[in-house]
Chains A and B, each alone.
Chain A
Amino acid sequence: MINFREGFYADIRIEDRSSTVIAYKAGVLENMKNRLEKQAFLRVYDGKLWYYASVTDVEHLQETLDGLYAAGTANPDILKDPIVRRFEVNRDRRMSFEDCSVRDITLKEKQALLKGYLPLLSENECIKMSQATYLDRNSVFTFISSLGADINFDYQTCGLSVSFDMTEGEKQFSGSWQQGGTCFDEAKGHEDEIRATIEEQYRYMRDSVPVEPGKYPVVLSPEAAGVFAHESFGHKSEADFMLSDETMKAEWQLGKTVGSPILSIVDSGEVPGTGFTPYDDEGTKARKNYLIKNGKLAGRLHSAMTAAMLDEGLTGNARAVSCDFEPIVRMTATYIEGGELDFDELIAPIEKGYFIKHINHGSGMSTFTIAPNVCYEIVNGKLGRPVQISVITGSVFETLGRIDGLTKEVEQLSFITGGCGKMEQYPLPVGFGGPFVRVSEMNVQ
């Protein structure tokens, strides 16, 4: 039982995390561990300054909390503070993974699953080095606050990652495949998919030709489109970047046209997968938030502090990568909504352009970048030869305005490795998604 003091706002977030890593390199076991961690993050606010502590000793939280109280100054008007008034006071128990917890699967079972895939990495003699990894995480969160919030919920991810380095003569290629899900059974039965990926990436290494740099129409796969949405616009929707510059609110006025009229971008913690966030780390319930709707700026992502300072509503986006850090404004699952076309209809009008199928990474400021991994040329409305592209770039807003086609089909993707980075906090699991997206012009190098 925690005793909260009057004159302050305070909350405590506790995470009980189990995570497993099993890794093989070149068919040899390299790592196998199950890590159990329990940690807490405490926050106290006196209306002027926030005081934070991260502790692994969760048995003595009252002492830590009292230490934070001692650093602050009691404020009789704390409940009138605009940030404190924003906080939701939810009481809920939402356990989604109790019936399929990865904690109930033995290390031996997890190892056997991964071992079953290893022979696939020896089938192509061009593979000179390979790595196969099984990863899972089950977290049980508890959140309580001085306002009376009391929430318990869980989060789970489970998946496989395979990477391989191929050579043939002078040609080299680093290929990869991964599957991210939420339950152990979803990691079974991917043999055909892995085999097809290796075959495609082998052909890419063997046959790809250098691109002729220039400006071309580009079609992005759901993977590339999802990363583009996240990097190019999702980060700009994080409201904390608006706090330092008083001109930003006018610059980013809701309703302003920021993209093509067919473009809508959503962020939602309700989407199953790696971005699933039923409650954020301030106890705010998830909801569907439009960032862009029909080309117009429709909303932004908030913590209680940014919502109070910009006088807008909460969105459920105050997140921390772990109990080492305070929650800051982050995305959950960010995706572009679908359109009206089939894939063939999407590429049909393109005389000369490129299809970005898989990517290595992306980034987005005023200029965004996508570093493709596997891409193809589009010639006279048909997919053609594989091509080598270092990077595609463009102005974010010009590119958002040049989106002129979307498929009906939308894919939601979960990556089991990596995650989103924002300054000191990396990697945060997030979801990506979208349809196939056609952009009338991008800078291809």
Chain B
Amino acid sequence: MEKEFIKNTEKNITLNVTAGRIDSFRRTEKTTGTVRVYENGCIGVAGCIGEPNEEELTKRATEALEFAIPYPEKLEGALELEQRHDEEIIPIHELIPTMQAFLDRLGKECPNFAFSNKIGLEYTSTEYVNSKGRRLFCSGGEVNTSLLVQNRGSGNVFDTFLGWKGDSFDADALITQFKKEYDAFFKRVDIEPGRYPIVIDISTVLYRFANHFIGELYAAGASLLSGKLGEKIFSDKLSVMSDMNAETTPGACFFDAEGCVSAPDFRPCIVENGVLKGLLTCKKSADTFNIPNIGTAQAAYDGVPGVGLSGLYVSPTAKSLKQLVQGKAIYVVMAEGGDATPDGHFASPAQLAYLMEDGELVGRLGDINFGGNFFELFGKDYIGAVRDEPLKGSSLCAFMMDVSKG
């Protein structure tokens, strides 16, 4: 009988912000434990909340084998690897004064905006051990500002968003960048309908097509990508990976739920220079459909592993926004509610978009809709990507898209 043991610990401090003032302090600490056992082509799982008792979990997982849930016994081989990125970001006793000072400065710089929601500090650690001799440990931390921003008098639930996370907190950089958006927000500009470069977080577009990258759908012929693994189907400039590297995604764990490690860069590849290189799988779906497993599985603490996807890493093609899109472009900050038809036509409204000129914000656009076809968006209409713009840790892509007024 083969076995895996996983222990995960999360420690969070979360501050609530109302009208620019911190009004609550929440502390949570949660530890979970998991044992998965494999025998005769089946898996048994047991999980617990709280400090795990491995022996007791093993007994329960062994009993769960009677459910006869098929799963291949293909544990990863011996490897010992440890990454610790859990240096203290801000001492807990300094968190409220630090963040209140940040909010006060933000309020002064942006007096027509009202700020609310959460600021958090999160530390996680994950330990994975299996009976083949694999022993992995990863810990990390991040500070996370997730502020809803209301334009005073707009009557809206929120008008824009100040979201950022990283392994350090640079109030000056955040305020300086956000002030640029604030200034542009109050300059109304207009454009004619047509085709424009759209600058946007790639996940807003790609996640609407995420199911087409799932191994099971691919193998069943139900994906737009079916039969195209290994083929060049997108732009040469497009390379997309799952980002499990803490240097570019703070807090990321470098191994997946089944102990798979994509060394040396910890970024399992999905698309490389336009070639479809990988699909989203777990060991079971990879084995069932004879697809390579790229190692992005996820699992609940008491659940069977399944297909997953963490953050995305898109290889940069430009060093700055100005280099990425020269002349007029549209920077889409919020685009909720878009979707794609079964044949791959994507359309979305933009709740907040700015006109850019040579990479600089010019002013705020009215309601617009934008969209395009899946293969064209990531093919001939893909312009490229930039990292660390407008802030360290940011990642933006640019596509040529059809734009109409809302």
By a beta-carbon cutoff of 8 Å, the part of chain A in contact with chain B is: 21, 25-26, 28-33, 35, 37, 39, 49-54, 56-57, 71, 128-129, 165-167, 171-174, 205, 210, 235-236, 238, 240-241, 243-248, 251-252, 324-326, 360-371, 388-391, 393, 395, 423-424, 443, 445
Contacts and interface: CB of A to CB of B under 8 A. Distances in A.
B119 to A, nearest CB: 12
Contacts of B369: 393, 443, 445
A25 B216 contact: yes
Interface in B175-216: 211, 216
A35 B371 contact: no
Nearest to B367: A367
B351 A50 contact: no
Given A51-B24, A390-B341, A393-B337, 16 more contacts: A29-B67, A29-B68, A31-B303, A33-B302, A35-B47, A52-B26, A57-B50, A165-B217, A171-B342, A171-B343, A172-B342, A174-B211, A365-B158, A388-B341, A391-B348, A424-B14
8 contacts: A35-B47, A49-B24, A50-B25, A244-B148, A324-B30, A367-B351, A371-B339, A423-B117
Contacts of B341: 210, 388-390
Contacts of A71: 25
B230 to A, nearest CB: 21
Given A37-B49, A172-B224, A245-B152, A369 B336 contact: yes
A327 to B, nearest CB: 11
Interface in B235-290: none
Contact of B70 (A29, A368, A423, A424): A29
B153 A245 contact: yes
Given A33-B302, A244-B20, A388 B343 contact: yes
A363 to B, nearest CB: 4
A243 B346 contact: no
Interface string B110-142: 000011111000000000000000000000000
A53 B27 contact: yes
B23 interface: yes
B81 to A, nearest CB: 29
A56 B30 contact: yes
Contact of B371 (A54, A248, A367, A390): A390
B304 interface: yes
Contacts of B118: 423-424
A252 B148 CA distance: 19
B97 interface: no
Given A243-B116, A365-B156, A391-B347, A32 B339 contact: no
A325 B339 CA distance: 30
B52 to A, nearest CB: 12
Contacts of B16: 50, 326
Contacts of B26: 52-54, 325-326
B18 A244 contact: yes
A71 B306 CA distance: 42
Interface string B323-363: 00000000000101111111101111101000000000000
A138 to B, nearest CB: 17
B406 interface: yes
Contacts, number: 188
B45 interface: yes
A371 B337 contact: yes
Nearest to B26: A52
B23 to A, nearest CB: 6
Given A33-B303, A244-B19, A252-B155, A369 B69 contact: no
A28 B285 CA distance: 12
B1 interface: no
A424 B148 CA distance: 12
B220 A245 contact: no
A210 B340 CA distance: 12
A50 B23 contact: yes
Contact of B155 (A251, A361, A423): A251
A128 B18 contact: no
Given A54-B26, A369-B337, A243 B18 contact: yes
A245 B24 contact: no
From A37, A368, A369, name the one whose CB has the most chain B CB atoms within 10 angstroms.
A369
A236 B157 contact: yes
B77 interface: no
Nearest to B20: A244
Given A33-B303, A173-B342, A423-B117, A393 B155 contact: no
Q: Which of A238, A248, A326 has the most chain B CB atoms closer than 10 A to its own CB?
A: A248
B310 interface: no
A128 B222 contact: yes
Interface in B130-175: 146, 148, 150, 152-158
Nearest to A244: B114
B303 A366 contact: no
B400 to A, nearest CB: 18
A423 B118 CA distance: 9
B167 to A, nearest CB: 20
Contacts of B216: 25-26, 129
B221 interface: yes
A129 B157 contact: no
Contact of A360 (B23, B158, B339): B339
B338 A391 contact: yes
Closest CB pairs A-B (n = 7): A369-B337, A371-B339, A363-B337, A128-B220, A165-B222, A244-B114, A50-B24
Contacts of A171: 342-343
A29 B67 CA distance: 9
Contacts of A423: 117-118, 146, 148
